[in-house]
Structure 1
């Protein structure tokens, strides 16, 4: 079957030292992930000097011309998958779950399945026309654990989205961050947008969207601190970028933190508390969940 190419990138390598093909492409093409690029190489969609290259680690030398053909993506649609999930609360309108660290919230390029949405669709019926993000009103990052509220119908979705917009709901996180604090509480008010330097990151930028994070220092250890953080807004990577901005990046954060950090599988960030007004009963509902074992074990080690 003939491949349909949606777009192409023409590049040339001009450095004196040799370089890995996948690393070079990752540095040059900001709107594609490294895993996507590696798949394109594997599938024969990357040519070096007009010859297909199938190894990610193929070495480039000065003067090499590289063509990356991006195939047209197949439409993404979330389908039910029998994946265990921890349900904290559920009724006819909403479901609150404890998302594990390492799970993506909804299907997207590079993550077409095995997401929280796939698991939710198997667990219950979601009446929503959105075929990719049914019921999703807010997200937490793949390697952030904790509570997420999901709407089971349009009434609930509109209500929960309105509360998020009006900042009337409650979202509190726990985080282990680098460094110690002189103050016990603080407020970070710094606008966020796409980084001008690295398009894969968010950053504090003058023309960014309003973003406010409140923090309270719960405990301090040697070189690390445990914080409770309250979101006033909900921007992409907000806590992670704000903590980096004030010089206290989240421990284990592979994108915004230092390499010399606590061992684990991603950032030590946990959505501990979630509160909202029930869309049908108008009663305030609040839920809390303790962090995963790796978070608790790391805290115990720091306390020792």
Structure 2
């Protein structure tokens, strides 16, 4: 299994840090506040990565602007098709870290419901099964009334984790759409922490901590993440 967690990262720029590169794909640690697509004359993270790696890159999943963390980009349409199939078949395991300043209705479990468009580019969770979103989570106490969430989305819907945590009363700190006091925080506190998959009979696992955010760099947060250990080994709620 490839797991370069302890390796020296390859570069730093305003958009991302490189975590891993081979002949088939790259894995980058996207910075918070960076658009996925180019907008308003400013490069998105995919274009920035293409310029850095000097090759065409193909996206197979995406991250919201406020969300930092691991992003997988294919180097060919053939590899992109293989990776997209893995995502479609739920063969890619993704784990996120989030911080909320609201106590959840339940400390761990499964959040399941239909995703429906709401107002101001927002989404909401319904009791219907249309556009079904399934999210597993654990939460842990931090200090000052905050909680750390370790989240595993089974599906990949727009704003899924943000809406799921909002639905249990724990909107993510700094979330400009779903948070109540987003301006009180220096960033949106959602981070794509780990991604695991198999490609061409080789197992890959990548992990990267957030690189920005006062809460993400606090001692209590870092100790809690360390104490949790391997997130893929947690007793995840059954779907």
TM range (shorter): 0.7 to 0.9
**Could you say which residue in structure 2 is the equivalent of 1:231?**
153
Instruction: Give unmatched runs, 5+ long, in structure 2.
Output: 1-12, 224-239
Taking a change above 3 Å as real, the CA distance of residues 115 and 283 of structure 1, as seen in their structure-2 partners, is: same
Report SS of the residue matched to 1:285. strand
Query: What is the distance in 2 between the residues matched to 1:302 and 1:98?
Result: 18
Q: Does 1:293 align with 2:212?
A: yes
Report SS of the residue matched to 2:94. strand
Q: Does 1:273 align with 2:194?
A: yes
1:262, distance to aligned residue in structure 2 (A): 4.6
**Could you say which residue in structure 2 is the equivalent of 1:153?**
76
Report SS of the residue matched to 2:136. strand
Q: Does 1:97 align with 2:28?
A: yes
Query: What is the distance in 2 between the residues matched to 1:193 and 1:236?
Result: 10
Taking a change above 3 Å as real, the CA distance of residues 112 and 166 of structure 1, as seen in their structure-2 partners, is: farther
Give the counterpart of 1:123 among 28, 49, 52: 52
Q: State the Cα deviation string for residues 52-74 of structure 1 (Å, max 9, x = none).
A: xxxxxxxxxxxxxxxxxxxxxxx
TM-score (norm 1): 0.63
**Could you say which residue in structure 1 is the equivalent of 2:162?**
240
Taking a change above 3 Å as real, the CA distance of residues 179 and 84 of structure 1, as seen in their structure-2 partners, is: closer
**Could you say which residue in structure 2 is the equivalent of 1:136?**
59
Give the counterpart of 1:88 among 13, 16, 19: 19
Report SS of the residue matched to 2:194. strand
Give the counterpart of 2:90 among 149, 152, 167: 167
TM-score (norm 2): 0.79
- Larger relative contact order (CA 8 Å, sep ≥ 6): 2
Which structure has the greater CA radius of gyration?
A: 1
**Could you say which residue in structure 2 is the equivalent of 1:200?**
121
1:115, distance to aligned residue in structure 2 (A): 1.4
After superposition, the CA RMSD in angstroms is: 2.5
Report SS of the residue matched to 1:293. coil
8 A contact 2:24–2:79 mirrored in 1: yes
**Could you say which residue in structure 1 is the equivalent of 2:181?**
259
Report SS of the residue matched to 2:180. coil
Q: Does 1:249 align with 2:180?
A: no
Query: What is the distance in 2 between the residues matched to 1:156 and 1:222?
Result: 45
8 A contact 1:192–1:208 mirrored in 2: yes
Query: What is the distance in 2 between the residues matched to 1:84 and 1:301?
Result: 24
Q: State the Cα deviation string for residues 70-125 of structure 1 (Å, max 9, x = none).
A: xxxxxxxxxxxx96631101011110000000111122xx4443211221111224
Q: State the Cα deviation string for residues 3-35 of structure 1 (Å, max 9, x = none).
A: xxxxxxxxxxxxxxxxxxxxxxxxxxxxxxxxx
8 A contact 1:135–1:150 mirrored in 2: yes
Which stretch has the larger CA shift, 149-158 or 174-183? 174-183
Q: How many residues are matched? A: 209
Q: State the Cα deviation string for residues 203-240 of structure 1 (Å, max 9, x = none).
A: 11436401011111133433320010001011111000
